[in-house]
């Protein structure tokens, strides 16, 4: 299916950049084709490299020594992201020390949302003092590769010798509005199970939040 889509993509761009499109098919997990990738449970995630709000270059490889990571696509303009911000920090606080740190990725197009421009993010992060990296995916390449469609949307990745495998995709928990009324802690449960050597019980939920507005859409 992935190759089929890639060939369609290639066909659409025939005569323009065919030669550039072809190498992607040889190493499906090494090079991200923004159109074909769309991670499912059990898929191995390709490495990515993004700039963090505090100016560092961060890649998935940097977390090779961890048991896994909690990748969360989020942003600053969306009310759901705002509602979850402290809970994202709490997840990192709970699990970073146990080998599952949070990597937050902002896939918003700053042209669509002023709150998500680099300067605003910088101001926000320095005010809030995030303990986890907040990466800027303004080209939206990583969000497309993951097949993310909402903010916030969580991916729990388990590291098996440098291969990051998708174990959970979806919402953080079952109540965006009131942290006190949460009954199902999906991400927390997934990571806790993985840490205990158990399989994840709920592997997929709908991510509830704001639709990621794609640049070319």
Q: Which residues contact 46 (CB under 8 A, 6 or more apart)?
A: 29, 30, 31, 32, 37, 145
Rounded CA separation 208/84 (Å): 11
Binding mask 129-158 toward other proteins (x if CB under 8 A, else -) reads --------------------xx--------
HSE-CB of 129 using CA atoms within 13 angstroms? 1
54 or 86, CB closer to other proteins?
A: 86
Rounded CA separation 178/170 (Å): 18
The stretch among 35-43, 66-74, 181-189, 193-201 that binds other proteins (CB under 8 A) is 181-189
Decide: is 174 part of the binding site for other proteins (CB under 8 A). yes
Which one-letter DSSP state was computed for residue 200?
P
43 or 173, CB closer to other proteins?
A: 173
Contact present, 139 and 105 (Cβ < 8 Å): no
Compute how many other C-beta atoms are within 10 angstroms of the C-beta atom of residue 160.
Answer: 11
51 or 185, CB closer to other proteins?
A: 185
Decide: is 210 part of the binding site for other proteins (CB under 8 A). yes
Pick the binder of other proteins from 7, 66, 117, 175 (CB under 8 A).
Answer: 175
Give backbone dihedrals phi and psi of 200, rounded to 5 degrees, phi first: -75, 130
Rounded CA separation 24/22 (Å): 5
Compute how many other C-beta atoms are within 10 angstroms of the C-beta atom of residue 73.
Answer: 27
79 or 162, CB closer to other proteins?
A: 79
Decide: is 19 part of the binding site for other proteins (CB under 8 A). no
Burial of 89 (0-12, 13-18, 19+ CB in 10 A): middle
Binding mask 188-207 toward other proteins (x if CB under 8 A, else -) reads -----------------xxx
81, β-bridge pairs: none
Q: Which of residues 50-79 bind other proteins (CB under 8 A)?
A: 78-79
Pick the binder of other proteins from 177, 198, 214, 215 (CB under 8 A).
Answer: 177
Binding mask 90-129 toward other proteins (x if CB under 8 A, else -) reads ----------------------------------------
Pick the binder of other proteins from 176, 187, 188, 191 (CB under 8 A).
Answer: 176
47 or 189, CB closer to other proteins?
A: 189
Q: Note the residues at the interface with other proteins (CB under 8 A).
A: 78-79, 83, 149-150, 170-171, 174-178, 181, 183-184, 205-208, 210-211
């Amino acid at each position: 299916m992935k190759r089929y889509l890639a060939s369609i993509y290639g066909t659409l761009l025939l005569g323009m950049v065919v030669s550039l499109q072809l190498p992607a098919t040889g190493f499906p997990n090494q090079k991200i084709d923004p159109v074909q990738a769309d991670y499912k449970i059990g898929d191995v995630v390709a490495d990515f490299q993004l700039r963090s709000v505090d100016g560092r270059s961060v890649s998935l490889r940097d977390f090779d020594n961890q048991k896994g990571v909690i990748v969360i696509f989020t942003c600053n303009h969306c009310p759901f992201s705002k509602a979850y911000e402290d809970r994202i920090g709490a997840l990192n606080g709970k699990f970073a020390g146990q080998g599952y740190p949070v990597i937050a990725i902002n896939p918003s197009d700053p042209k669509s949302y002023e709150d998500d421009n680099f300067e605003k993010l910088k101001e926000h992060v320095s005010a809030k003092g995030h303990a986890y990296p907040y990466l800027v995916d303004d080209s939206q390449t990583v969000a497309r590769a993951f097949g993310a469609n909402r903010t916030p949307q969580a991916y729990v990745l388990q590291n098996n010798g440098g291969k990051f495998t998708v174990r959970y995709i979806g919402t953080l928990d079952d109540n965006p509005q009131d942290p006190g009324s949460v009954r199902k802690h999906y991400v927390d449960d997934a990571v806790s199970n993985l840490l205990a050597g158990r399989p994840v019980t709920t592997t997929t939920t709908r991510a509830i939040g704001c639709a990621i507005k794609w640049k070319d859409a």
